[in-house]
Every structure is written in structure tokens, then in C-alpha cells.
Amino acid sequence: MRRRDMFRAVLAGTGTLFGLRVVQAATTEPARLKVAYHLSDLGKVNFVLGNIKNHYDGTGGNVDIALVVHGPALAAFKSKGISAAVSGRFAGLVQQGLDPHACANTMQGMDITLTDLLDGFHAADKGGVVKLAELQSQGYAYLRP
């Protein structure tokens, strides 16, 4: 009789413990996402900026987004001669937390400095592809629209 009572007590305790874990899981916020966007195609600048905006909207802002730009696409972010639409869209995303990185190799090849780019950019000193690999090693999901 005692074994049966002990078994029931253990079973009841396990059920209670499991129930508490389910309740705790339901009340915690979802994990914050980390995403690295890779942009090198000049023709995809508006598309990628749109995807990033949708990402912020779709997650309610519960996301850390890094944008790594290299190659021809970097020219689209030069502060002189940029369209007001791209400039405004980019500035809004930076305000939402976008962390943009410009490939140092591309900047050197195109004779561009950080001061030539829109506000908010950081130099990816080791190169854009190295920065992408570093971000992935830090748990960022890689997206190349």
C-alpha cells in the first residue's frame, strides 16, 4: 500500500511541476531574434530596406537587425545625390535599431569613407563577408534577399 501511495504522490508532483513549466513558458516573452541581412546588389536596395521594415513590423520590434553592405550596393548609401526616399527610409530603420555595416574593402575600392555614407554606418574593417561570418557565429540568422 505504501508503494502505491508513494507512486501516486510522485506522479501528482510531476504533473504539478510540468503544469508550472507550461504556465511559465506561456508567460515569458519570445526570444529576441537576431538577423543579419546581406546586401550587395544595387538593384535590391529598396527591396531589402522594405524587407527590414517588414521584419521590424512583423516582430513588433523584438529583433536585432544588422545590415552588411558591400559591392555595388554601397553606392546607394552615399549621402550626396541619394534619393530622399532611400535616405528617409534608411534613417527610420536606424532609429528602430538597424545596425548597418559597410565593407571596408568596398569603401577602399570605391574611394568612399564613412563620412561619405548616410549616418549610422560602421566600417566592417575586416570586410563585409568576414563581418557576416562573425555575426553568424554570434547567433545571427543570415538572410540574403
Q: What is the pLDDT at residue 7?
A: 53
With beta carbons less than 8 A apart as the criterion, state whether 104 and 125 touch.
yes
Yes or no: say if 128 and 106 are a contact pair by the CB < 8 Å rule.
yes
pTM beyond cutoff 0.85: no
| Residue 20 pLDDT greater than 90, yes or no | no
Q: What is the mean pLDDT of residues 79-104?
A: 94
Angle between helices 45-59 and 84-96 (to 10 degrees): 30
Would the pLDDT of 17 be above 70? no
